[in-house]
Amino acid sequence: MILWEAFDKNEIFILILNILAYGVFFLLPKKFTRDIIILLLVWGFTIGVFFDFTIGGGLIDFYLLNDSNKYGLNDVCYYLAFAPFGYFFVYFYEVFHINRATFIWYVTVWALIGIGLHWIFILIDIVNPKNGYQLLYSFPVFLTTQTMTVLYYQLIKSKHKVFKNTEQPN
């Protein structure tokens, strides 16, 4: 394991992304109970790690992360940025009172935001596609993971108290 191959634009972008994402996370009013907050952060982080190590490496190896095949601290920081986004996805799902009809728009817009970020990641060499991988292949990945997130969150909401105050689940 290394720290990074060369500290340049991709490392700087990952640092800025983390500062911004965690800054927003800490500034947003705490809406959820502590266990839900931890769960959503770990959920976002795990999905990032799971997909990257399953299709981004090993035998399939659709992309090179950062400047090196070696696992680096900058790679870990990249995955850490996924954690608050897992939280934001559910946070704004509640803020905008997303329902069965608006869910389609909500997931589509988030998937497009995901594609946009992925495009920037490719531009600044955080993600380097190979073996025929194309940016748009990430679209179904985003649609699937975000739909799963909504379904899972609705399941949790039906069984547990998710809000910090007395707000009741739908």
Partner 1 sequence: MAFAVFFFTAWLITAIFFAIPKKLTLIENTFIFMLILVISINWSWIIYEGFKFIKITKEPMNYTGFLFFRSVTIPMLLVLQLNLIHRSKMFGSTAVITVLSVATLLLLDGLSIFFGITTYQKWNIFYDFLYFTGLHIVTYFFLWLFRKISYRGVDYS
Q: With contacts defined by CB under 8 A, how many residues of the chain interact with partner 1?
A: 25
3-state SS class at 163:
strand
Which CB atom, from 98 or from 156, has the smaller least distance to partner 1?
156
Of the candidate spans 13-21, 45-53, 114-122, 139-147, the one that interacts with partner 1 by CB under 8 A turns out to be: 45-53
Answer yes or no whether residue 38 interacts with partner 1 by CB under 8 A.
yes
Cα pseudo-dihedral 35, 40, 41, 44, rounded to 10: 160
| The binder of partner 1 chosen from 3, 16, 23, 35 (CB under 8 A) | 35
Which CB atom, from 11 or from 52, has the smaller least distance to partner 1?
52
Answer yes or no whether residue 159 interacts with partner 1 by CB under 8 A.
yes
Which CB atom, from 33 or from 108, has the smaller least distance to partner 1?
33
Spell out, one character per residue from 12 to 31, where the chain touches partner 1: x when CB under 8 A holds, - when not: --------------------
Of the candidate spans 21-29, 117-125, 130-138, 148-156, the one that interacts with partner 1 by CB under 8 A turns out to be: 148-156
Residues composing the chain: 170
Residue type for position 49:
V
Helices (H), ranges, the chain: 9-27, 34-55, 73-80, 82-95, 102-123, 138-159
Instruction: Kindly state the smallest distance separating residue 50's Cβ from partner 1, in Å.
Output: 7
The DSSP secondary-structure symbol of 128 reads E
- Phi and psi at residue 46, to the nearest 5°: -65, -40
- Cβ 89 vs Cβ 146: under 8 Å: yes
Which CB atom, from 29 or from 58, has the smaller least distance to partner 1?
58
Of the candidate spans 7-15, 57-65, 95-103, 141-149, the one that interacts with partner 1 by CB under 8 A turns out to be: 57-65
Contacts of 31 (CB under 8 A, 6+ apart): 91, 94, 95, 163, 164
3-state SS class at 72:
strand
Answer yes or no whether residue 78 interacts with partner 1 by CB under 8 A.
no
Residue with tokens 């940016």: 135
Answer yes or no whether residue 50 interacts with partner 1 by CB under 8 A.
yes
